[in-house]
Structure 1
Amino acid sequence: MSDLLWIWILLGVVLVGALTTAITLGVRGRRGGGTSTLEPPPVETDDGAAPPASSTAAGTEVVEPAAPATPTVERPEPVGGRLVRLRERLARSGSPFGARLLSVLSRDHLTQDDWDELEEALLVADVGASASEELIASLQTKVRVLGVRDAASVRTLLRDELVALVDPSLDRSLATTPHTADDGATLPAVVLVVGVNGTGKTTTVGKLARVLVAEDRDVVLGAADTFRAAAADQLQTWGARVGVPTVRSDRDGADPAAVAFDAVRRGREDGADVVLVDTAGRLQNKAGLMDELGKIRRVITKEAPLSEVLLVLDATTGQNGLAQARVFGEVVGVTGIVLTKLDGTARGGIVVAVQRELGVPVKLVGLGEGPDDLAPFEPTQFVDGLLGD
């Protein structure tokens, strides 16, 4: 009897357990609607839409970054208006150079001390010794022969002498017209920009690109300053603002000659009008760096002839810039000067000195920090600005 009792008890426990399991499964089925895999919540972008995703072999979701917005392409200011701004800014700066010259020349009787004071003013303005002597000698002769004494007439004489020193007869146009090769192919004009550290070469290249774009030229930039990591980024930013492509290396310390060569080749392939090549700043007394600059020039000319070699000089350095100009001229054959930081300087006579030193003209001047503060150099506008007219 006791055995039958235990059998019935065991059967009851089994039945109760089976019933409990069935009830539990039924409840789960009603709640979940079947077996499922838990999905991670979608990642949303700023506008609330889920970004596209791609799956790896392991099934992990990889969220692709949203495509960047297309940058707004600027339209640079026309070049013509910049010439007027140059004269206005020089005049507003109240050039102590021009003011001192006019003050002395307007005196009733000019003594030798007065002429010495004039020559000193010219030297301080970095006109240079020989040019200063010539100007003083010419003024002395004209004042004595013509008997000029009133300030207006003296000012006219001074203006004419200064304009003659700056030499308006020099060709200051930029050679940016594409060439035709012997095989009939069109080659872009190539402009190489050189100079020492801190003169503003990269900024000048960016501003020059804006000048050319304002003239409806197709431009390619070459970031051959591979020693300064920020230089290529800076140049690329300048180019992007006006829709101009930049050829650069994907690593620091790359061969700058190779980057320059690739930029010129890209210009040929794209049918560009002009290729602007930026280079690293280098001291003129570093033979290795100057030799490298010569290499850049040689490599570029294997792809297309050089149209311009522009030397960027800081106008505030004065006579110190002449030694730089001399060495760069010997190594790469400078064809034109770009004077930066000219606005407001009392040392504008460097224009005369550097032209005499190299025998090449100042072609462009930097007027300030604005993106369109680069203008073609115009001798009469420059002199009138210095004299405050």
Structure 2
Amino acid sequence: MKILHTSDWHIGRTFHTHSTLEHLGQVLDALIEIVRVRGVDVVAVAGDVFDSAMPSKESYALLTSALRRLKAVGASVVMTSGNHDSATRLGFQSEWAALAGIHVVTRPEQYLEPISITDEYGPVHFYGIPYLEPVLIRHLYPGVPLKTHEQVLDFAMTQIREDLTVRGGRSVVLSHCFAAGVMPASAASDVERDITAGGLDVVPLGVFDGCDYVALGHIHGRATLTERVRYSGAPLHYSFAEAEKPRGVWLVELDAGGLGAVEWVDLPVPRRLTVLTGELSDLLEDAAYADREGDWVKAILTDQVRPLDAMRSLQERFPHGVALEHRPAIQMDVGDSSYAERIRTATSDPEIIAGFLSFVRNGVGPTDFETALLAELLTEQSTRAANS
């Protein structure tokens, strides 16, 4: 059996206010083509199908189209809800979708209702674990300590192993979580909302013992925690923090004895993410950046003084420039004195203004142009006051 492991589609996510639906549609087109060409039997989507609990009609339309075409090329789908999803909305009419081979697992108790799909070697049981927020499910199991995501998943996996012992056959688990061995929280992107990493809710890998393959979601970069426990990452870049992370899917084969070959298959990147660092004039003039003019661009400006109207200037060369950060190349040591202390000895308006500019601009006072402009404005103000 061939299984395509994907996750974190985040349908409806914006990228610095820009819609990503068109680009995600292109990537899903490529994913569906992989399913067709490689003869994939089952597509496993491990959570965060939508980006919000209230998806737009356009987001629903994209999902509906993708599922329809996956079915048309011969694949079944097993999909679980993640922490971004509304389980109720994602799971609406899932009972009827299952009749067409589209299995959407969102209810807490459904992890004990495996989707069994048979190949020439017998059944493969897909145990979809929807995102289970401890505070929302602990009342279902009085007497069981369910305070952390680790405890919840350990409880669920214990039941799954017991069920599998009775059923027999091979098994695949889908789960949306931070598992041990992933990057620290500081390296996560702004899309990976807090489940959390580096804290109490990291789930040890031993929790997932006893099944042939574990398809994880939530981390937006691919990761191999063990040969049978992996993250596929998101199919599209949703943050500049993800710029260097490849986009793709895992193609997993189960043979008669369980896990067989696992292959990474790249997905296209509709528009690259580029972070450029330097003074604004260099970014606008350097020919070395010509091949980046069509990218999503974040600029880290190293000018000592933040340039005026920098974003407009940036977008004249990089139309998809969407983010700016000012990080002066030279950090002046301005001490700990307050603004009031710094201008206490000032005896004129120009000195007061110069002290203010130095205070708010990391020790950099007015330029020659600004000094001349200030002198002109202050002279004009004095003239008006004398004539009034």
- Taking structure 2 as the reference length, the TM-score comes to 0.30
Question: Over alpha carbons, which structure has the higher Rg?
Answer: 1
More strand per residue? 2
More helix per residue? 1
